[in-house]
Chain A
Amino acid sequence: MSVSSESSALLIVGHGSTVNPDSSAPSLEQAAAIRAHDIFREVACCFWKEEPSLRDALFLFSDPEIREVYVVPNFISEGYFTQTVIPRELELDGRLTTRPDGQVWKYCEPVGNHPGVTELLLRRAREVAPQVPEAETSLVIVAHGTPLNDKSAIAAKREVEKIAALGRYASVQNAYMEESPLISDWPRLTNAPNVIVVPFFISDGLHSYEDIPVLLGIGAESGAASSPRAVFRRNPHRLHGRNLYYASAIGTEPKFAEIIIEQARAFDEAALDLRPIA
């Protein structure tokens, strides 16, 4: 059975936050956008750190008409949450879970795994610096990065390799907040007169509002009284003889709604591929 507006529901799983009011915003906005398309009978969100919780989500799709629930993690990569927390809290047996009432829950790949993310990174870079020639620009994708097993760093690296292979930018570079190459070294890591920095995160928050700007050397410009989003509106910053353009988190891109839908559809396509060849 594939995605149907009669019998399918969509559950977008986000991290959420107990301190950052903007953390759940991308998931909620994308849910609203998808609802308007009328592709699913119901569209809901749940969060690890906000309400409704992942445990609450077990009760969100109670109508007998809903025969399958597509679970799409709004996470930038596979990792601890997608592999441990979400399956445990949603009581998923694996990719396919049949509930006692016969309702089937389909556990899809996280949004960050979708090949379309590359195009969204390029789009975000063009939006933040529309008049700037790509050949005279270094693009920096900044992820968190930790000495522990951080798969978002691997995903960010994969995106950099894909964009670099296009040969459009003077250079394409990974950087991290907590491991080498550090984002604070951007003047040394890049060589073009223009530098675009895109945070590889699902939502804006402390990292994109404050931590990365400070590491870039543009944090001091943020006034406590101004909106935290003001940091994205002051481009370009003239620093170290370069023009620095700073974008908001990639997950805030509205087109992620399409990626969520595609991850649900991809589940069924992948399942078809797994059928034994007759």
Chain B
Amino acid sequence: MLPRISRALADWISAGARGIGQIEIQHDGGGFVLCHFDDIARKDLEIFRSPNDAAELAKFDDEGNYRPLKTAPNLRRGWRLELPDLEALQEALDFFYPGRLAVLAAWEANRLTTAPLRQTLHRQSGMYRVAAKISDEQIDTVVGQFCRSRGGNPGCLRTILWSRDATGARPSQHLPLEKFIAPIDQTGRGETRIPLLCQEACNLLVAEAREVVAEARETTSRAE
């Protein structure tokens, strides 16, 4: 029997999922062909054949900037990755969107635990401890910009499963309701796509919260 995570991927593929995040997945005999979903019609794509190539393809955006958040909607274009089987597909997707298939499999098995943002922030120590001092209003703004599926800064294609705090409140009113409903895909293409789930605020958002608190303090101290 397939391992749980492979099985979750196989089920989505056989259910007709067109892709995951910004990646289009096409069947090619027993194998798969991957490309950026905006490159489907292109014939001039550079061809790659190893799942390991996905690590480099995912590393930089079209401008050559490093992509610390792999679920940001800035995957580079111009490539075609040909993979022989499901195992290679899973390996490649684990480079493109690290950890997301495992989280999806856990969610489907009803084993995924989520953490409210304030719980994540209160757990921090060292330089990130101060992030816990962020206000609800600041969270509303930061999450609204940072996690926005399209047009955010940097933006993120994950579906948010965590609340702001123990009350269960949505972390941002600036984001549409579907941003918080799994398994809705966040690319806005209206297709069946494998969802990228977010069970807990990432370290990048925690760092952003810290920045917001630090900047607000600086502004206050300047005003005084």
Contacts and interface: CB of A to CB of B under 8 A. Distances in A.
Interface in B200-217: 200, 202-204, 207
Given A19-B66, A21-B60, A57 B204 contact: no
Interface in A212-259: none
Contacts of B88: none
Interface in B68-117: 68-71, 97-99, 102-103, 105-106, 109, 111-113, 115
Interface residues of B, number: 33
Given A21-B66, A59-B112, A84-B125, A51 B52 contact: no
Interface string A116-138: 00000000000000000000000
* Majority SS at the chain B contact face: loop
Given A21-B59, A48-B203, A53-B203, A59 B70 contact: no
A50 interface: yes
Contacts of A21: 59-60, 66
Contact of A32 (B4, B52, B98, B125): B52
Interface in A1-49: 17-21, 28, 32, 46, 48-49
Given A18-B207, A28-B55, A84-B125, A55 B200 contact: yes
A46 B99 CA distance: 9
Given A18-B204, A60-B99, A62-B111, A55 B126 contact: no
A56 B203 contact: no
Contacts of B126: 80, 84-85
Given A59-B112, A62-B111, A49 B102 contact: no
B99 A57 contact: yes
B203 A59 contact: no
A46 B202 CA distance: 13
Contacts of B200: 55
Contacts, number: 69
Interface residues of A, number: 26
Contacts of B57: none
B98 A51 contact: yes
A58 B60 CA distance: 27
A51 B157 CA distance: 14
Interface string B159-170: 000000000000
Contacts of B98: 50-52, 56
A62 B99 contact: no
Interface in A45-79: 46, 48-53, 55-60, 62-63
A88 B113 CA distance: 16
Contacts of A58: 113
A253 B205 CA distance: 33
Nearest to A20: B66
A88 B125 CA distance: 10
Lowest 6 A-B CB distances belong to which pairs? A52-B99, A56-B99, A18-B68, A51-B98, A59-B106, A52-B98
7 contacts: A18-B207, A53-B203, A55-B200, A59-B103, A59-B112, A62-B4, A62-B5
Interface of A: 17-21, 28, 32, 46, 48-53, 55-60, 62-63, 80, 84-85, 88
